[in-house]
Structure 1
């Protein structure tokens, strides 16, 4: 893990929609290289928090990645600071190949027409991303023909070639098979060797296996934080999740 890894520091973050506080004074720290899971019931504010971090909604307070304040910056400026996200539905160019998707994401300095042509060589960053996400053998397949899990991995690869240092992933294993979930968990571990990862998730088995730390949100606030065991043993969490500490019935927004 690099000494230059940056962490995420959020202080008194507030997002209000029509007078309703969707995120209500949240403060949290995600240390460099963490795999932080955000969980909470419907309406807890998890996705809105990520929207605020990435500039998609207006917010007050402070959000710093490393030494850089993110709040108040436009979306593209935040992205240039090394912050990237995925959504619940993978946003890849389905009519292009895996390699072309990564080429476009990498901004390889080629025009739109040349991006569509088959090239002789592959940039090192793209080749490295292909290997990391396990799609080297699929590089010439149309993205639209990939399996569901592979599309999610491709979207993560598109962030990697942009040298994103903070990955914000919204339900990355939703709809995946067990094998795909396992492969995704292993991928998160590889990615977090030199990046910081925040995951919005409701799959408790996946969380128990791959989360390093957990933040539980409820009605726009932080309810509990800690390891998986610490969070599940927290009486406040047990109360919110119907008193079941071992198997909290988490539902996602």
Structure 2
């Protein structure tokens, strides 16, 4: 089964072209970083893939066409997405959040009780995102990084195969960024990961391949070293032109 394929993707808002004919291929198992200046179209690209922005062109995940589908139907095809601010139920515990995400048929009152047995899928997700030790803590009391990890865990129990993460380390401490990078590596063993990011140090350490966007278009693509050495990327993204020898 093939990975994510984007062809000639265009998103237009009231005459403004936010994404302008982007082609993108992300093979399964990749940890792909998408970078670019503010307004480059990165988040809008992900919005289009996940059904939050109307677009033209063609987007496929495996054998499934995504454009034109409702958001929840795209999610059911294994496409999971996080936002810059984690969307968790802060009054409920880590375990209860994962229970709800997994769709287990439990009455609302039973969610407030400590359960005697944890479904294997939920247990595995907690272990993957390293939250087993805080499973009974309200999500609202978690550290910033832990809330992001919980949201990723919620996608895991929903059987997401493609993870689209929007600036997952924004606001994190150095240790949290390291732990998140390690989590991306664990996820990529069985999943495909696309990360929108501004943290260049994080990118250098954990990206496998990089796509650079500028003004709604794909500017460059390749390994971290290839992208960093690209004169156009240095001029547009880093804000200065490379001097010719």
- Indicate whether 1:236 and 2:232 are aligned: yes
CA distance in 1, matches of 2:107, 2:6: 38
Aligned 1:143-222 pairs, distance under 5 A: 143-222=139-218
Match of 2:82 among 83, 86, 93: 86
**Aligned-residue CA RMSD (Å):** 1.1
CA distance in 1, matches of 2:85, 2:51: 19
Match of 1:9 among 5, 17, 33: 5
- Indicate whether 1:28 and 2:24 are aligned: yes
CA distance in 2, matches of 1:40, 1:244: 16
Give 1:112 shift.
2.5
Give 1:116 shift.
2.5
Match of 2:65 among 61, 66, 69: 69
Assess, with a 3 A threshold, how the Cα gap between structure 1 residues 243 and 99 changes in structure 2: closer, same or farther: same
CA distance in 2, matches of 1:116, 1:14: 45
Instruction: Assess if the C-alpha contact under 8 Å between 2:231 and 2:241 holds in 1.
Output: no
**What residue is the counterpart of 1:54 in the other structure?**
50
Could you list the runs of 4 or more consecutive aligned residues of structure 1 that deviate by over 3 angstroms after TM superposition? none
Give 1:43 shift.
0.4
Match of 2:135 among 107, 117, 139: 139
CA distance in 1, matches of 2:169, 2:144: 9
CA distance in 1, matches of 2:29, 2:104: 27
Aligned 1:94-113 pairs, distance under 5 A: 94-113=90-109
CA distance in 2, matches of 1:43, 1:148: 25
How many residue pairs align between the two structures?
241
**What residue is the counterpart of 1:249 in the other structure?**
none
Please list the CA deviations of residues 144-193 of structure 1 after superposition, one character each: whole Å capped at 9, or x if unmatched.
Answer: 00001100100100001111000000000000000000000000000010
CA distance in 2, matches of 1:41, 1:235: 15
Q: TM-score, normalised by structure 1?
A: 0.93
Give 1:244 shift.
7.0
CA distance in 1, matches of 2:173, 2:70: 36
- Note the residue ranges of structure 2 that are not aligned, 5 or more in a row: none
